[in-house]
Structure 1
Amino acid sequence: MSRTIRNFILAAACAAISCTAPGASASATASPEIHIEDVERFYDIYDAANGRPTAEQLQRDYIDAGSEGLHTLARLRNVTGVRIADTLAKNPGIYSNAKRCMAVLPRVKERVQVALDTLVRLNPEARFPPVTVAVGRGRPAGVGYPDSGIQIGLEAVCAADFMNPNVEDRFVHVLSHEYVHIQQAPALAGRDDLTVLERSLVEGGAELISELISGLAGQAHFPGLTRGREQEIETALVADQDKTDLSAWFDNSTLEKPGDLGYWVGHRIARSYYQQATDKRQAVRDLLQATDAKAFLAKSGWHPGIKLQQDMPQ
């Protein structure tokens, strides 16, 4: 891997994170634990194979030899050498184009640090665990859990133009969103058996709070999919709210056909709650501490097709 590429990744990772030692206050900074070696190793393998590493090489030399963070990403999101090789064969541009995103990362780190400072002001108990920047199978863009840190898919974020055409804004949004997940109550956000409504609240709350701390609106493709269809879409989600098959609402975006409308509905539920709250800081805490999605929904004032303020929340 070239020195330039390595330096870009190092700069982004080193300044995008401000960690808090266990038991310390959020305002006290600690030396962050940052893992970038997985990206370095991937592109060493990628370049040596002229952009066509085999599934065996990727599994043995990249994933199996990878960091704990990469192993976590592989376990949580089924990242294997075979799946990376399949994605690379179908869409090689995802991996070759990922290098172009590195040019924005120094500025991303500055903006993310500002967002994290705002998050601490809203939530003094905020925690900032390690981040692993890795290369995966084209998805997910980011994953965050308190006990396993944050994993960012460099190639996935770089390729997802539909999220935001501005690459810099896109990385800031994804990192901010994943840091919010870390703060959410594990009794809800940490579960693997969420219903459609529960996942909507988890993702929607992260969307709203990341919007508050970064100053960036949610994913840019939602207005085109939802304008004029608010009541139709939200009525359909209410009908599905108790389902544990989430495929109609989450993790169904492709580069050709964006989706994930559960994020959008969840954001509107969270926004309804926040807008009606007189104590905005308490509203943020309520969003982070929510464990009963139906009780929160009842308090939110939300209903399908509700008219919400169009400006950014304050």
Structure 2
Amino acid sequence: MNRRFLIILIFFSNFAFSQTNNFRKYIETSDIKRFWTAFDAVKNSNDINKTKIFENIYVEKASKGLQDFIKSRDFTSEKWIKSFEEYPKFWNSIRPKTENIQKDFNKVEKIFKKFRRIYPEFNPPKIYFTIGNLKGGGTVINGNLIIGSELASSDKFVDFSELPKNYQDRMKINSGIMFLTAHELVHTQQNLNNSKNSNLLGSCLKEGSADFIAELILDKKVEAPYIDFGLKNQCKIWEEFKKEMYGHDFQNWLSNTATIKDRPADLGYFVGYIVTKNYYKNSLNKKQAIKEILTLDFADENATENFLKKSKYACE
């Protein structure tokens, strides 16, 4: 392709993408309004079958993204009703944050634009801002980004006193939807074919590289307990990780919020993050490095091993 033509094409692509109306077509928020309508109906009803009320208003009218979210997290109306009864202070305090989540959409648009600048092949996904039931702030399903707004928008100002400690710890450091959105947006661009078959190294690179690219996009250090702890204990963590990195037992490193006791959860994110950061730092062509990070096949053990070697990461 002629270089001049390519430059013109990229310019007009970015110009079209920058238009507000264009950007808003990627955002779906209808589930939030329906959720609070259903919440009020349940709260104000004397009907013993509150689950049916919630089902009719929220679940049966769910957007495509919420439908996928419900299936992936096994949400049920009964579980939502139980959550309302167990955590009334949380649900009442999180409401205004979810209802006003659109105030951050100009920042989300900037994330899209910055992603396009550092990675011209960026293919923007649809983002569904939904409300789940405290089972994930964000996920990618069928190429779409689905945000659980009740977790994504929670922070230290929410009344989380009724919630388990691991939720409280998370909310104390959450500064809004930006980092989570950026992190999950990276997942929509990654090569996730067969990623469920990845060994520990591949799985940690998938998550840690999403943290690193999000940091580049936001131009802001990742704020997470696993990052702070990891930076202070690199050698100890690396020695432990090396013993397990080619296996498929993730319990010491990923999705272990409920079981880990003596250190922050998800230290595998830190390992993937620091290896990816080293890979980027040691690459002469930064844009090419970003492409290599995003197209890495996490299920290919030879590819992830080669990525680790090229990163030259070593704790000394």
Identity %: 23
Q: CA RMSD in A?
A: 3.0
Question: Which 10-residue stretch deviates more, 273-282 or 42-51?
Answer: 42-51
Question: Which 10-residue stretch deviates more, 193-202 or 46-55?
Answer: 46-55
Q: How does 1:77-156 map to 2 (within 5 A)?
A: 77-102=73-98, 105-145=101-141, 147-156=142-151
The question of 1:300 aligning with 2:311 is answered: yes
Question: Which 10-residue stretch deviates more, 83-92 or 48-57?
Answer: 48-57
Counterpart-to-counterpart distance in 1, 2:215 and 2:207: 12
User: Which structure is larger by alpha-carbon Rg, 1 or 2?
Assistant: 2
Following superposition, the deviation at residue 247 of structure 1 comes to 3.6
Following superposition, the deviation at residue 116 of structure 1 comes to 1.8
Q: 1:229-258: CA deviations, max 9, x gaps?
A: 32222333332223334343223336x986
Match of 1:157 among 146, 152, 167: 152
Give the secondary structure class of the aligned counterpart of 1:240.
Answer: coil
Residue aligning to 1:216: 220
Counterpart-to-counterpart distance in 2, 1:252 and 1:64: 32
Following superposition, the deviation at residue 278 of structure 1 comes to 1.6
Counterpart-to-counterpart distance in 1, 2:50 and 2:312: 53
Counterpart-to-counterpart distance in 2, 1:51 and 1:224: 45
Following superposition, the deviation at residue 195 of structure 1 comes to 2.4
Match of 1:72 among 43, 68, 72: 68
Counterpart-to-counterpart distance in 1, 2:196 and 2:15: 31
Question: Which 10-residue stretch deviates more, 104-113 or 125-134?
Answer: 104-113
CA contact (8 A) 2:200 2:249 kept: yes
Structure 2 portions without partners, runs of 5+: 1-11, 157-168, 298-302
> Which residue identity does 2:233 align to in structure 1?
R
Counterpart-to-counterpart distance in 1, 2:146 and 2:217: 20
CA contact (8 A) 1:196 1:237 kept: no
Structure 1 portions without partners, runs of 5+: 1-23, 307-314
Residue aligning to 1:38: 31
Q: 1:192-211: CA deviations, max 9, x gaps?
A: 33322111111111111110
Following superposition, the deviation at residue 272 of structure 1 comes to 1.1
> Which residue identity does 1:216 align to in structure 2?
K
Q: TM-score, normalised by structure 2?
A: 0.76
The question of 1:204 aligning with 2:222 is answered: no
Q: 1:147-174: CA deviations, max 9, x gaps?
A: 341100011123365457576x431111
Following superposition, the deviation at residue 280 of structure 1 comes to 1.3
> Which residue identity does 1:194 align to in structure 2?
S
How many residue pairs match? The answer is 277
Residue aligning to 1:194: 198
Residue aligning to 2:270: 264
Following superposition, the deviation at residue 266 of structure 1 comes to 1.0
Give the secondary structure class of the aligned counterpart of 2:212.
Answer: helix
CA distance change for structure 1 residues 218 and 283 in 2, over 3 Å: closer, same or farther?
A: same
> Which residue identity does 2:154 align to in structure 1?
A
CA distance change for structure 1 residues 270 and 38 in 2, over 3 Å: closer, same or farther?
A: same
Counterpart-to-counterpart distance in 2, 1:93 and 1:224: 30
